[in-house]
Amino acid sequence: MFPYAAPVRDLQFVLADLLDHRSLSLPAFAEASPELVDAVLDEAAKLAGDVWGPLNASGDRQGCERRHDGGVTLPDGFASAYQAYVEGGWNGIGVSEALGGQGLPEVMASAVQEMLHGANMALGLCPMLTAGAIEALAHHGSDELKARYLDKLVEGSWTGTMNLTEPQAGSDLSRVRTRAVPCAPDEGDFYRLSGQKIFITWGEHDAVENILHLVLARTPDAPEGNKGISLFLVPKFLVNDDGSLGERNDVVCASIEHKLGIHGSPTCTLSFGEQDGAIGFLVGDAGRGLNHMFTMMNEARHKVGIQGIGVAERACQHAVAYAADRSQGRTPAYRGGEPCTISEHLDVRRMLVSMRSRTDALRALALYCAAELDVARHHEDAAMRQAAQVRAEVLIPVVKAFSTDQAVDIASLGVQVHGGMGFIEETGAAQMLRDARIAPIYEGTNGIQALDLAGRKLQRDDGAALAALIDDVEATAAALGAHAELSGLAPELAAGAQDLRACVAQVLEEGRDSERGLDAVQAYATPLLSLTGHVLCAWQMGLAALKAQAAIEAGSSDDFYRRKLVAADFAIRQWLPEGRAQRRILEAGFQGLLDIDATRL
């Protein structure tokens, strides 16, 4: 088992070289500096590598245990590792100072998140859900709710959860049955909830004294469908007027799931209202619960993409270290014919450089998206904020879905590099594959993300936001073409941009068909998202090549830049062609899918 080392240099390259510390130029971050960025990354790397990382394997082996009283015991060391995170002030890093946070850019918070998820994905899920709860409460909670609950969430001394799914209501939340009955006027301004929620990440645990559940439920007079769903805050312990904890609320962990991976993360079935009803407080407007919850889900979807990248980075490090250590075979005669490690075999090298180049590309795209979120939230010019928001909304389903799909494949390649030893749990390679596999499923399956891109995001502006991104890809291809050392990368990147533009036009055109439009969008959504991810990641690696080559020409002898050129070359000339094949899939149409009887396959 090889230790995890946070990729500080790679993160610095994206923030400083590719993004030119763009977020720091916003007035909201006037007190931040590149030196502060470096200091934050260094300290986060210590927490990730020294405190969280060593618990990853032991937490996987031990897992969580539900006690007879409904409480959940975390793996040894998890609670203290989480407290070290809280005591370091990490939970509020990206939260505004007005809400008690540190007010640093989203792009920095995302970089820190990657390190923590790379070190220990199961533990990293806890603050990820709390961040979403902070967003939902800050945007939609009443002044009274924010005064009573928000400080503790921002601090991290209380954690938050998101309660959507029910046994009969998975992705179709219109089928939610949990009920919220208003209390009598003389009791107070609250509701009593009853029902069951499943797959609740960190729904019960012993790392903090209180847990705040954000719950979708229906009031008795609510209409059927999405418009009848409201959002409620249900604390594990009620909170007194002086801020102290009061009585235990009527919410209990009925069971915890036994999962393929992330064993250190308690995934709970929560029962509300087994006694008198769980006391809950309306968040935002009645009947707009889904709208309010999406504030939380958009935050979480971007972070799930970051999470996948963290696991991919760890898998890459693990595979590189193993390949450099494992002796097997000899080099060809023309390379000396000597005994060698498997890192000398070109098929293994192909796997390793594929893992590295893809991980670097995914990181760059995810942090670019985070920087757009910073602009959308903090730029002084309203038009700039709007443009950045639209671009970020197009990117989020790509970051979530493409990053997590690729993370599974990267972790699988990591197992392959290990050979038979990768299939043995003791080496640690299998855990990364098992852990990564959930990421394409939760916070909206990747098929739903693809439908969001091909349906909602493209249709609302006739593809204008994605077309603007393609313009940037083509500009980078032109810059590569004008550079003597990098011109060989230009044709493939330009061709990828052309493929994507053509496929967007096809999806838009066929999606307008009054009879077959919905089927066309569903059939084309996943290959379109895959093509989009490949092209935009290759674009980021083209930018990386330009920056690395400029540093070399300026006299740098840092091997880091040479490795960036190798990664960029592979991403554009060997990985992007796999994505470009998606155009052939779209051009083949979808009649075959209509003709299939899926029950007789």
As annotated, the active-site residues are: 443
| The pair of three-digit structure tokens given for residue 310, joined into one six-digit string | 């963290």
Alpha-carbon gap, residue 478 to 559, rounded angstroms: 26
Measured over the CA atoms of residue 431, residue 86, residue 377 and residue 39, the dihedral's sign is negative
User: Phi and psi dihedrals of 256, rounded to 5?
Assistant: -120, 145
Residue 120 three-state SS = coil
Q: Which of 15, 48, 17 is nearest to 32 (CA)?
A: 15
How many other C-beta atoms can be found within 10 angstroms of the C-beta atom of residue 489? 26
Alpha-carbon gap, residue 154 to 43, rounded angstroms: 19
| The pair of three-digit structure tokens given for residue 392, joined into one six-digit string | 């970020």
Cα 1 to Cα 4, 322, 515: the distances in Å are 10, 9, 56
Q: Which of 582, 275, 318 is nearest to 453 (CA)?
A: 582
| The pair of three-digit structure tokens given for residue 396, joined into one six-digit string | 């989020």
Beta-bridged to residue 229, according to DSSP, are 218
Contacts for 329 with CB less than 8 Å, ≥ 6 apart: 339, 340, 342, 344, 345
117-135 burial code (b ≥16 CB/10 A, e <16): bbbbbbbbbbbbbbbbbbb
Alpha-carbon gap, residue 164 to 141, rounded angstroms: 18
Asked if residues 466 and 536 have their Cβ atoms less than 8 Å apart, the reply is no
Helix 346-378 with 106-119: angle, nearest 10 deg:
140
No. of H helices and E strands in the chain?
21, 14
Give the per-residue SS3 of 136-184: HHHHHCCHHHHHHHHHHHHHCCEEEEEECCECCECCCHHHCCCEEEECC
| The pair of three-digit structure tokens given for residue 497, joined into one six-digit string | 């941009």
Cα-only R_g, the chain? 24
Alpha-carbon gap, residue 353 to 563, rounded angstroms: 10
Alpha-carbon gap, residue 11 to 17, rounded angstroms: 10
| The pair of three-digit structure tokens given for residue 299, joined into one six-digit string | 């935050």
Alpha-carbon gap, residue 259 to 495, rounded angstroms: 42
Specify the DSSP element, H or E, that contains 371: helix 346-378
Alpha-carbon gap, residue 399 to 403, rounded angstroms: 5
| The pair of three-digit structure tokens given for residue 601, joined into one six-digit string | 């396959």
Taking every pair of Cα atoms in the chain, the longest distance, rounded to a whole number of angstroms, is: 89
| The pair of three-digit structure tokens given for residue 248, joined into one six-digit string | 């235990």
